[in-house]
Copies of this chain bind each other. A is one copy, B any other.
Amino acid sequence: MLRRSFIQKAAVGATAGTIAGAPAIVHAQPAIRWRLTSSFPKSLDTLFGASDVIAKRVAALTDGKFSITTHAAGEIVPGLQVLDAVQNGTVEFGHTAMYYYFGKDPTFAFGTAVPFGMNFRQYNAWWYHGGGEKIYNDFCRKSNVVALLCGNTGEQAGGWFRREINSVDDLKGLKFRVGGFAGRVLSKLGVVPQQIAGGDIYSALEKGTIDAAEWVGPYDDEKLGFAKVARFYYAQGWWEIGPALHCIVNLKAWGTLPPQYQAAIQSACIEANVDMMAKYDAWNILALKRLLASGTQLRAFNQQIMQASHKAALEVYAETNAANAEFKKIHDSYFGFQRDQVAWSQVIEMRQAQFLASVVK
């Protein structure tokens, strides 16, 4: 069973006064209604849709008695204020990408993705069986929330560019819509990072206010129409190799739930995690084929750019580790785990993937 001991323990403070009278051991479970606020618009059916996956599964598991209503970004609070809303108890439940709160503390980024970080499988291994869930929740506890892993997009694309990028020099002065940690790394290479909400990217690219933009991957990017205003689509999105999504629950609200309902949320979040990855894997390639058929030019950052980016990322990590002990603690756990995982992938899966690529056409 996935390690839940930490999460159950995390709520001890909140539940101390509640457990004795909790209805978990009586036969009729209580009717509970929660609100979930999402960082995503309904149009992103894989991302926002995960909250519906969770709400439906929880309802099925509790015979409808634990009801969760899902609210898109902006319905209750703006998409980037989910953490605040859950922390303050405005809502019990949120669905978000934790790196949105990078500005509060860069340590949050380990919940979603960090440059040259782990992929879906590696992140799951770290989270569920490598100490990740515990160490990350030790950090989140101060924000008054419990974080449950509930999704992953798989490696994201490097973004849409109006012109080709063939060298580090081509990055200098480039106005690139890219957020948080990646922006900090790319700044070292001369990029001018731009923070622009999803809905405004298209017009900024069209007007030339920005030169490039990254969003998610083919399935989501196609919907926003970027292909019409930027011809070159880059692979090697090294800043988001396995971006994870999380549900966050207000710590006090979590503590008031009967164990059966806690188990329902845990199960539903695990399902949403594997479900989102399966959807992206099944659908991204179909969207990419459509994009390529209508003229998109697929490219990948070359080795010079990748190596310069990696060097810049190591500098940012060193600076952040020096300034932030909590960041360093999770950094060391995360990248120590990654080292073994990269070695393991070379022994087994990578070699096989290369062979299959040579024979499956």
Contact = CB atoms under 8 A, between A and B. Distances in A.
Interface of A: 1-2, 24-25, 27-29, 52-53, 56-57, 60-63, 116, 119-122, 124-130, 154-155, 157, 217, 235-236, 238, 241, 259-260, 263-264, 267-268, 270-271, 273-275, 277-279, 281-286, 288-289, 298, 300, 303, 306-307, 310, 338-357, 359-361
Given A274-B128, A341-B285, A351 B300 contact: yes
B124 A2 contact: no
Contacts of A350: 350, 353-354, 357
A143 to B, nearest CB: 25
27 contacts: A1-B275, A2-B53, A2-B271, A2-B275, A24-B63, A27-B63, A57-B263, A60-B263, A61-B61, A63-B260, A121-B121, A122-B281, A124-B278, A125-B282, A236-B352, A270-B275, A271-B271, A273-B274, A285-B340, A285-B341, A285-B343, A288-B344, A303-B355, A306-B355, A307-B359, A342-B356, A342-B357
A274 B124 contact: yes
A235 B360 CA distance: 20
A122 B182 CA distance: 28
Contacts of A273: 274
Nearest to A119: B349
A8 B57 CA distance: 14
Contact of A235 (B57, B62, B347): B347
B116 A356 contact: yes
Contacts of A342: 353, 356-357, 360
A278 B356 contact: no
Contact of A348 (B126, B154, B278, B343): B154
Contacts of A286: 340
A241 B352 contact: yes
Nearest to A313: B359
Closest 4 CB pairs of A and B: A125-B281, A285-B344, A60-B263, A267-B267
Contact of A347 (B62, B267, B298): B298
